[in-house]
Amino acid sequence: MTSEIKALAMPKWGLAMTEGAVTAWLVEEGATLREGDEILEIETTKITNVYESPAAGTLRRRVVAAGETVPVGALLGVVADASVPDTEIDAFVARFQEEFSVEAAASAEAAGPEPRFVDAGGQRLRYLVMGDGKGEEGVAPLVLIHGFGGDLNNWQFNQPMLAEDRPVYALDLPGHGGSAKHGVVGGVPELARAVRDFLNALGIQRAHLGGHSMGGAVALHLAAEEPARVASVTLVCSAGLGHDINIDYIEGFIAADRRKEMKSVLETLFADASLVSRDMVEELLKYKRLDGVASALRAIADASFADGRQSHVLVDRLEGVGAPVQAVWGAADRIIPAAHARTVPAERRHVLDGAGHMVHMEKAGEFNRLMSDFMSMA
Amino acid sequence: MSKKSYRQAINEALAQEMRRDPTVIVMGEDNVGGMGAPGEDDAWGGVLGVTKGLMPEFGRDRVLDTPITESAFIGAAVGAAATGLRPVAELMFVDFLGVCFDQIFNQAAKFRYMFGGKAVTPVVIRTMYGAGFRAASQHSQCLYPIFTHIPGLKVVVPSSAYEAKGLLIQSIRDNDPVIFLEHKVLYDEIEEVPDEPYTIPFGEANLTREGDHVTIVALGRMVGFANKAADMLEKEGITCTVVDPRTTSPLDEDTIIEAVEDTGRLVVVDEASPRCGMAADISALVAQSAFKALKAPILMVTPPHTPVPFAPELEDAYIPTPDKIADAVRRVMA
């Protein structure tokens, strides 16, 4: 229990989020909360997710009613110890509301983390960095690597929370997001080289790696090649642990150039298909329309998933990775079967129910806890 | 990504395609400006500055000022396209179409067909259209239905800066003659536009809103108005799907029909005159293909069948507005 008063503020999920709608409160005023308890549901134009309590205490106020839309940073509710008098809570709310203005929030947002670019091994790569490791020396940063067709925004529910303990970098692989689209050749080994160049360019000596799907195989490959530079590896619904892959998804994603096709392709990524919003579809179509993307995706798919199977299976290289490796999977993954997690020892694999291939989005809270616990032990 | 105006988006599309492909050239009245006088280089960049900056980068061989003779330079552009260049000719106002229509509809539009597919005509004609600029009857018309009527032409009506850049690059790379219509009131509208080149395919409508009750189909500047109407109506509990066809030829019939099948009601908004326009055309399409899905008569929101008035009050009354669109939606819901 804490005696301080804690504001629950509208979070910023992803670069484009400016406001969110509270769709439902999941707990009543007066409820006792542990850190990580789900408090309310928030819907953005892109996706719906739960907001978890940042601290233990009592939910003292629900400031925003279900159905209301408020800007990023706005006060949603207040958590404090039950012993804090109501008058102090009211004074806290009044002070917050007085100091909070949409303009200030908007300009703070403009000053917030913006993606940057770095020239790594001759390729221009985009990345987003959050967190400073609280100034502690020697804290290894985390580097997050998205999957085929993804980008750094895939970590929007993870990066801000994980950045409380250490600097967290999310990058766009070559051919993806805001990184260079031309001259992309090869698959996992070439992409792992690009990540190594990225680490070199930013002067990162040693890092925790988190890789999703194809990005998991990239992380594993890098860890096997350069074991001294890797503190831990978290494989998320990862490629590289078996030959199976839903090739219809890969080919469908490459082929989809219309909303309807793209929507049905994306629905296979989630256990809850209703999470695929109009904006999510539109954003991916916008990415796919960029010059060079089609040939980059083709080149990567040909090198990585020829004949409908994964080409780069790295199970026999797991032993060469000195750092601890954990696997996190969605039980309902329809892209890479959760059975592939069995290549990792039982105590280091976590198969989460109610989640598909995007387990880090669908079960963000649980995922974030697994990841931060694992890294703090590693 | 950065914020760009509709004008900047078009300029960037031209510059990026000229860098990529040396056969792309730009020509039109005062597309450079200054008549080569010392200190007056690049004085205009077209009458509203859309091509400004191209001549200094690409030189006078690729950015041509033409005489005020649409019949000559539109014909020259068509001929240049037939012989291997990719010209982007600017017909300053679409209202001047009358003096060069033979070059467009009897020549450019027919080459591929009459030469048995052996000839291609990759010409783009950029042209300004639309009312609301206080420019009177001869500089304010929406004449895209006339081009849409001619088989062999592709007709593009971009509704925003993002749309304009991707559709113009697609137009330049397309091997058929494309008429690219820029609404002059949209030039300063700003939105996020990728810095990299990208293409938006023809014949694929965009849904800018998705709702349950009414489908609104709108083109060009009217898309923004339809979005405003949809946002107003949402507060009243009426949700709308807004369809922006992007291109009137080819027309994405499937998306329009599917959207109407979902909502059961249709309002078509068009800034062009009501007779033989896109509003009538799309209404006919839906009446023919989705009649059983309709829960209410189709309504068209268009100007009256008159020339565009010069008096500001009359011009404002002439143009469809978000309020007029919202009224039509309420009527089909009644």
User: Chain B contact for A291, CB < 8 A?
Assistant: yes
- C-alpha A282/C-alpha A62 separation (Å) is 34
CATH 2.40.50.100 residue spans of chain A: 5-111
Residue from the list B1, B198, B207 with its beta carbon closest to the beta carbon of A289: B198
The residues of chain A that CATH labels 3.40.50.1820 are 116-377
| Residue spans of chain B under pLDDT 70 | none
Q: What is the pLDDT of residue A19?
A: 87
Q: Specify the pLDDT at position A374.
A: 95
B169 contacts B197 by C-beta, under 8 angstroms: yes
Tell me if A291 and B201 make a contact (CB, 8 A cut-off): no
Is residue A126 less than 8 Å (CB to CB) from chain B?
A: no
Q: Which of A178, A257, A289 sits opposite B166 (nearest CB)?
A: A289
* Residue A105: predicted pLDDT: 65
| Fold entry, domain A116-377 | Rossmann fold (3.40.50)
Nearest residue on chain B to A182, alpha-carbon basis: B196
Residues of chain B contacting A274 with CB distance shorter than 8 Å? none
**Å between A288 CA and nearest CA of chain B:** 9
Q: Inspect the interface and report whether the beta carbons of B204 and A258 lie closer than 8 Å.
A: yes
| A279 neighbors A286 (Cβ within 8 angstroms) | no
Q: Which fold has domain B206-333?
A: Rossmann fold (3.40.50)
Per the CB < 8 Å rule, is A290 touching B198?
yes
Give the residue among A79, A67, A85 at the shortest CA–CA distance from A8: A79
Task: Dig out the tokens for A91 from the structure.
Answer: 């004074």
Would you call B207 and A291 a contact, using CB atoms and an 8 Å cutoff? no
- Fold assignment, B2-193: Rossmann fold (3.40.50)
User: Which ipTM value was assigned to this complex?
Assistant: 0.88
Residue ranges, CATH 3.40.50.920, chain B: 206-333
- Ordered strands of the A57-62 beta sheet: A6-9, A75-80, A57-62, A32-33
Residue in B196, B209, B256 to test binding to A, most A beta-carbons within 10 Å: B196
Taking CB atoms and an 8 Å cutoff, what residues of chain A touch B207?
259, 278
Least Cα separation, residue B205 to chain A (angstroms):
9
* Cβ of residue A286 closer than 8 Å to a chain B Cβ: yes
Is B1 in Cβ contact with A178 (below 8 Å)?
yes
Range 301-320 of A in CB contact (< 8 A) with B: none
Distance from CA of B233 to the nearest CA of A (A): 17
B305 tagged catalytic: no
Nearest-angstrom CA–CA distance, B155 and B181? 8
Using a CB–CB cutoff of 8 Å, tell me whether A357 touches chain B. no
Is there a contact between B201 and A178 if contact means CB atoms under 8 Å apart?
A: no
User: In the A/B pair of chains, how many CB contacts fall below 8 A?
Assistant: 24
Closest CA to A133 of A207, A200, A230: A207
Catalytic residue among B139, B183, B213, B305: B139
Among B195, B198, B234, B261, most A C-beta atoms within 10 A, so best to mutate, is: B198
The most distant pair of C-alpha atoms in chain A lies apart, rounded to whole Å, by: 68
CA distances from A68 to A64, A99, B282 (A): 7, 20, 37
Q: pLDDT tens-digit profile of A107-125?
A: 655 556 889 999 998 999 9
Rounded Cα gap, residues B179 and B202, in angstroms: 12
Min Cα–Cα distance to chain B from A18, Å: 14
Alpha carbons A136 and B119: distance in angstroms, whole number: 69
| Bridge partners, residue B24, by sequence | B86
Q: Name the residue of chain A whose CA is nearest to B259's CA.
A: A260
CA B93, B96, B97: angle at the middle one, nearest 5? 105
Residues of A in contact with B202 (CB under 8 A): none
Cβ contacts of B250 on chain A, cutoff 8 Å:
none
Tokens of B15: 């510059």
Which of the residues in chain A have pLDDT under 70?
Answer: 1-3, 102-112, 133-136
Residues of A in contact with B201 (CB under 8 A): 257
The CATH architecture that domain A5-111 belongs to is: Beta Barrel (2.40)
Percent residues over pLDDT 70 in chain B: 100
Contacts of the segment B318-322: beta carbons below 8 A, 24+ positions apart: B318/B131, B319/B131, B319/B132, B319/B271, B320/B222, B320/B225, B320/B269, B320/B270, B320/B271, B321/B225, B322/B225, B322/B226, B322/B228, B322/B229, B322/B232
Closest approach of A291 to chain B, Cα-based (Å): 5
Chain B residue numbers with beta carbons less than 8 Å from the beta carbon of A286 are: 162, 194, 198
Q: Is B179 helix (H, G, I), strand (E, B) or coil?
A: strand
Nearest CB neighbour to B207, from listed A181, A278, A290: A278
pLDDT value of residue B126: 98
How far apart (Å, rounded) are the C-alpha atoms in residues B290 and B268?
15
Residues in chain A closer than 8 A to B200 (CB atoms): 289
Ranges of CATH 3.40.50.970 domains, chain B: 2-193
Contact flag B199-A291 (C-beta cutoff 8 Å): yes
- Between CA A239 and CA B22 the distance in angstroms is 43
Residue of B nearest to A287 (CA): B198
